[in-house]
Structure 1
Amino acid sequence: MNKQLTTTDRFILYGTRAAALFTAAGLCCWGVWYCMRLLRYEETNDAQIEAYINPISARVSGYISRIRFEENQFVKAGDTLVIIDDRDYAAQASEAAAALENARAQTALLESRITTLRNEAAVSAARIDAAKARLAHQQQEYQRFANLLAEESTTQQRYDNVKAALDIATSEYQAALRDHASAEARIAEAARQSAAVTAEIKRREAVAEQHQLSVGYTVIRAPYNGRVGRKNIQEGQLIQAGQPLTFISNDDTPKWVVANFKETQVQQFRAGQPVTITVDAFPGETFHGEIASLSPATGSRYSLLPPDNATGNFVKIIQRIPVRIRLLENPTVQARFVAGMNANVSVSK
């Protein structure tokens, strides 16, 4: 025998049917919307916000004297971050400067010596002229007395005296020539020494400049505006040249998104194509961008150990291609983004 339904049972029955119908209709609508969206958009949730994050490294070794930043602190370009004890480098710079001054003093001494040698060469040249004049006079005397002796108008003794005087004048002239040549050689030698000292000065200038640079490198400054990340050092710590001290994000350049789409999704992608972005950290907000470029290789090819399908058993895996997306938001909005945030990207077909 059928039992009569009460008012409450009928209410529950009709309500359940209505809810089921509304749920089915909603699911149908959602399914239609989702299918249309799949036809109109290519989507991926394998995307992240990216920014330039560079290490701040030491260029010289030494003990840290002071640290002038805190983790996550905003700094401006040129702000001092770390100071290294520079006493050793300052002493080396002073020594190099002293060596440079000594080399320059040697140049002054050589220039004075060259001036003196040139004066001596001028004197020897004058002596040559005098010796040459005396030699010419003695040659004339010798010729005259030789003629007189042939005519027996003079004595052999006087002839011998004139001949001896000619020999002495000739020797003095040759000695003057040798003295002048020696003076010229000393000038040339001093000039070569001056060239060597000039080259030494250039070398010492380079050494002094290098030591001055080393002194400057003991003060490590922020290369650009940004926010300092993790601090890996403490005051008094010994650091080596090239050692990363901290990391800094570059706020002078815009951030971007790298979305890793499947290889079956990128056939129609092109540069300049509009992109819609949602970030997990900001639910309900939508951001805009455009495709900047597509990677020339899949992400696996950039890994430390790229796969080699010629070895072992082959299992086909759909590869992903990194797509760089330029954010079109203003800097104020981009400042809210942090590198590494997860994002969802939709590209209209």
Structure 2
Amino acid sequence: MNKNKTDKTIVRLSQWAGMALLAGLVIWAGIFFWKGYHYEQTNDAQIDAYLSPVNAKVGGYIRKIYYKDNQRVKKGDTLVVIELDEYALRKDVAMAELMSARARLHILAATEATQVKSMAVIRAQLVGAKAKVSQQQREYERYKSLLADESTTQQKFDNVATALAITQSDYEQANAGLGVAASKLDDLKAQRAAVDADIKIKEALLGRQELDVKYTVITAPFDGLVGKKTIQEGQLIQPGQTLAFLVNQSEEKWVIANFKETQIGAFKTGQKVSIEVDAFPNEKFNGAIESLAPATGSRYSLLPPDNATGNFVKVIQRIPVRIRLTDAPEKIARLAAGMNANVYVLKDE
């Protein structure tokens, strides 16, 4: 009796288990076909975000690294410091060259002032020489009249004429000296302009060296999370070398879903999207189609396929679809770039 009762219990439990399994399969199949009817779906999707590279603007040996893997940083926080000695020396040289150029400018200014005074002296001499010429010219005319009246000797007249020629020569010499002095002043002004230009060049070079000194301290450009550290202290880096990647937490994140070309016929901008992220299996995220790629993913590869060569095998292509996340920023902030996701696009929207 007990054995028969036990057998009946086992059979009944097996029947119930089979019925539960069958019901589960029916429910799963119903959900699967319901989703297939109402949604276009793909599991070829990932969360994406902008990864900003932190690059070195100057080369040198790394003196100190102030961040660790996956560390949260604030804007302006120091990430890396490069050895300063070489750049400080270049700055000192540029400063010395600038001081030298400025000193030459002061010397030229003093020489220019002296030349202006010399010209003033020559002008005064020129006035005196001109007065002497006028006086000697009158003396010459007087003796010329006396000689015509035979009231003086030829020798006296010749002496007066010679004195007039000497006086005129002195005047012309003074006038020529003024012209030379003026030309030299113009030369000094031209040299001053050249020195002014040289000073501007030296100031620009000094500014560049000061920038290089500033660039030896590499800071975070915004708040975010630093990725994996790939550099070491004492390592030689080159200008433009990427030192780290920084994820901006305040920037938007989006989903790139690669749908088959046979699925996107009815897709349009703004269409609602439901997203399941593998990292949060019990949570759904909402979004909307933002854009569709103008070409298939294979066309963006390094060596795009050429169907005109060899034996052609038709392969269904995939189209990258960009999806904007529409949930609250606090919810989206939990997502990390590269996370896998399942995407469901609601039909007939």
Answer yes or no: same fold by TM over 0.5: yes
**What does residue 233 of structure 1 align with?**
231
161, 180, 183: which one pairs with 1:182?
A: 180
- CA shift for structure 1 position 102: 1.0
**What does residue 89 of structure 2 align with?**
91
Secondary structure of 2:106's match?
A: helix
Letter in 2 for 1:38: G
Question: Relative to structure 1, is the Cα distance of residues 68 and 25 closer, same or farther in structure 2, using a 3 angstrom cutoff?
Answer: closer
**What does residue 343 of structure 1 align with?**
341
Deviation string 1:288-334 (CA, Å, 9 cap, x unpaired) is 11112111221111112221222222211111111111112223222
**What does residue 66 of structure 1 align with?**
64
Q: State how many pairs are aligned.
A: 344
142, 145, 167: which one pairs with 1:144?
A: 142
Listed as ranges, the matches of 1:8-27 within 5 Å are: 23-24=21-22, 27=25
- CA shift for structure 1 position 54: 2.4
252, 258, 262: which one pairs with 1:254?
A: 252
**What does residue 218 of structure 1 align with?**
216
User: Structure 1: where are the runs of 5+ without partners?
Assistant: 1-5
Secondary structure of 1:81's match?
A: strand
**What does residue 168 of structure 1 align with?**
166
Question: Relative to structure 1, is the Cα distance of residues 12 and 268 closer, same or farther in structure 2, using a 3 angstrom cutoff?
Answer: same
- CA shift for structure 1 position 243: 2.1
Secondary structure of 2:228's match?
A: strand
Checking the alignment, whether the CA contact within 8 Å between 1:68 and 1:80 is kept in structure 2 is yes
44, 50, 53: which one pairs with 1:52?
A: 50
**What does residue 155 of structure 1 align with?**
153
Checking the alignment, whether the CA contact within 8 Å between 1:224 and 1:252 is kept in structure 2 is no
- CA shift for structure 1 position 79: 0.3
Question: Relative to structure 1, is the Cα distance of residues 200 and 228 closer, same or farther in structure 2, using a 3 angstrom cutoff?
Answer: same
**What does residue 80 of structure 2 align with?**
82
Secondary structure of 1:169's match?
A: helix
Deviation string 1:197-219 (CA, Å, 9 cap, x unpaired) is 11111111111111111101110
**What does residue 322 of structure 2 align with?**
324
* 1:286 partnered with 2:291: no
Deviation string 1:205-261 (CA, Å, 9 cap, x unpaired) is 111111111101110111111111111122222222222222221112021111111
Checking the alignment, whether the CA contact within 8 Å between 1:287 and 1:329 is kept in structure 2 is yes
Letter in 1 for 2:125: R
Identity between Structure 1 and Structure 2 (%): 52
Question: Relative to structure 1, is the Cα distance of residues 235 and 25 closer, same or farther in structure 2, using a 3 angstrom cutoff?
Answer: closer
Question: When the two structures are superposed, what TM-score results if normalisation uses the length of structure 1?
Answer: 0.92
Question: Relative to structure 1, is the Cα distance of residues 66 and 12 closer, same or farther in structure 2, using a 3 angstrom cutoff?
Answer: closer
Segments of 4+ in structure 1 off by > 6 A? 6-15
- CA shift for structure 1 position 39: 2.2
116, 119, 123: which one pairs with 2:117?
A: 119
Secondary structure of 2:227's match?
A: strand
Deviation string 1:83-117 (CA, Å, 9 cap, x unpaired) is 11101100110110111011011111111111111
Q: Which whole-Å CA distance do the structure 2 matches of 1:284 and 1:251 have between them?
A: 24
* 1:272 partnered with 2:267: no
Secondary structure of 2:307's match?
A: coil
Secondary structure of 2:294's match?
A: coil
Secondary structure of 2:263's match?
A: coil
Cα RMSD (Å) of the superposition?
A: 2.0
**What does residue 102 of structure 2 align with?**
104
